Amino acid sequence: MITVNLDTILWERHMKLSELSEKIGISMTNLSLLKTGKGRAIRFTTLNKLCKVLDCRPGDILGYMPDPEGTEMEEDIYED
């Protein structure tokens, strides 16, 4: 599963979500969905803005943790 560490990075930078929203031009709602891990996708342009403003790398924001045993991954692969 993909994890989102945005909350930790904001805390380390002493920045509120509202300030980040203002700086990158992304709505509070969309950032909140991302921060809580409820978002289903992120655009590279958004990730680029986050990295620029937060002075970090994509791997600082996004992480990976294996799914618990016995859980199946949802297929999100699109075939032609």
Query: Residue for token digits 């699109």?
Result: 78
- Give per-residue pLDDT as tens, 25-43: 999 999 999 999 898 899 9
Q: Where are the beta strands (DSSP E) in 1-80?
A: 2-4, 62-64
pLDDT at 71: 66
Spatial separation of the C-alpha atoms in residues 77 and 68, rounded to whole Å: 20
Number of domains in the chain: 1
On whether residue 17 sits in a domain, the answer given is yes
On whether residue 46 sits in a domain, the answer given is yes
- Diameter over CA atoms, the chain: 45
On whether residue 70 sits in a domain, the answer given is no
Whether residue 67 has pLDDT greater than 60: yes
- pTM, to two decimals: 0.79
User: Alpha carbon of 57 to those of 14, 42, 48, 62, 67: distances in Å?
Assistant: 18, 15, 9, 9, 24
On whether residue 43 sits in a domain, the answer given is yes
Look up the domain containing 58 and give its range: 2-64
